[in-house]
Amino acid sequence: MTEKKNKSAIQRRLIPTYIFLCIVSFISVFPLYWMISAATNTSTDVSRGRLLPGGHFMENFNNLVSQQPLWRSMWNSLFYAALTTVLCLLICSIAGYGFEVYHDKAKDRLFSILLLAMMVPQVATMIPLFQMFSKAKLLNTSIGFILPIISTPFMIMMFRQNARAFPIDIIEAARIDGLSEVKIFFQMFIPTMRSTYAAAAVITFMNAWNAYLWPKVIMTDNDAITMPMLIGNLITGYVTDYGMLMCGVLFCSIPTMIVFFVLQKQFAEGITGAVK
């Protein structure tokens, strides 16, 4: 009886906590629900604040497809984001691995200087980058899109911090067995740091997919339009069709949600620095 009373008392004390968590969960999920609901309503209903789903999704979708290059934008964003993610993971992981495994005082100073680049706003580099890429004739090219973002100080720092959990004894044993440095990295480091790569992949893919300012500057051709640029085009003009706009936002959000839900377990492990 005493144990039952203690359990019931504990459960009663946890009721405010559960209520608070339910409220926070509702606040977190509500924007997603409102986006999906608004995509099924007309522009007038969205303006009036209608929260219930409607029956105008296909109408909004047909208007979106007829007025904007939806599928081309989806393909461009997917291609740029996937290519950026692969190259960023390769380059930043090699840099982070090298800074940690072969570190000395000179590399530590170089890494400190590299971290200072995180304090420079991206907007401050737009004009020099545009002039540089314009002279190099890289406008409206995949190289011009991905080159400034395939290596970031944050990703290098993330891989270096997680590389500290990689056992140095394994590297030394592999060297004694005659394994080259390249094979140690690709056959031992990468498989061991799967969770870190998953977390970095989620962050890089979402940043590349949601990039708007730099693609808007570097991509002047309509055939190179990306999903964030398409959403921006829907907002411009004298009258905004909010139903069509939210339909476009829904399609823009689906790939990032899929990537996150597929890699959410590895993402959590990578952020906490788990190594298996």
pLDDT digits (tens, 9 = 90+) for 138-183: 888 888 888 888 888 888 888 888 888 877 888 888 888 888 888 8
Taken in order 15, 16, 17, 19, the sign of the CA dihedral is positive
pLDDT at position 271: 65
Average pLDDT, the chain: 84
Cα gap 224→44, rounded to integer Å: 32
Whole-model pTM over 0.75:
yes
Ranges of residues in the chain whose predicted pLDDT is under 50: 274-276
The alpha carbons of the chain give a radius of gyration, in whole angstroms, of: 24
Tokens of 120: 């420079």
Q: How many CB atoms lie within 10 A of CB 43?
A: 19
Taken in order 41, 46, 50, 51, the sign of the CA dihedral is positive
Q: How far is CA 102 from CA 98, 109, 160, 171, 269, in A?
A: 5, 13, 11, 12, 25
pLDDT at position 274: 47
Nearest to 226 by CA among 121, 83, 118: 83
Whether 153 and 114 have beta carbons less than 8 Å apart is answered as yes
Cα gap 68→237, rounded to integer Å: 14
pLDDT at position 102: 83
Taken in order 192, 193, 194, 195, the sign of the CA dihedral is positive
pLDDT at position 86: 92
Q: How far is CA 9 from CA 1, 2, 12, 16, 128, in A?
A: 12, 10, 5, 13, 65
**Per-residue pLDDT tens over the stretch 100-126:** 888 778 877 888 888 888 888 888 888
pLDDT at position 87: 92
Cα gap 208→230, rounded to integer Å: 15
pLDDT at position 5: 59
pLDDT at position 78: 92
pLDDT at position 4: 61
Whether 41 and 56 have beta carbons less than 8 Å apart is answered as yes
Nearest to 156 by CA among 198, 115, 213: 115
Largest CA distance in the chain: 82
Taken in order 81, 217, 61, 71, the sign of the CA dihedral is negative
pLDDT at position 2: 60
Q: How many CB atoms lie within 10 A of CB 183?
A: 12
Q: What residues contact residue 121 under an 8 Å CB cut-off, 6+ apart?
A: none
Taken in order 111, 113, 116, 120, the sign of the CA dihedral is negative
Tokens of 80: 């740029």
Tokens of 84: 């950026």
Tokens of 76: 């461009």
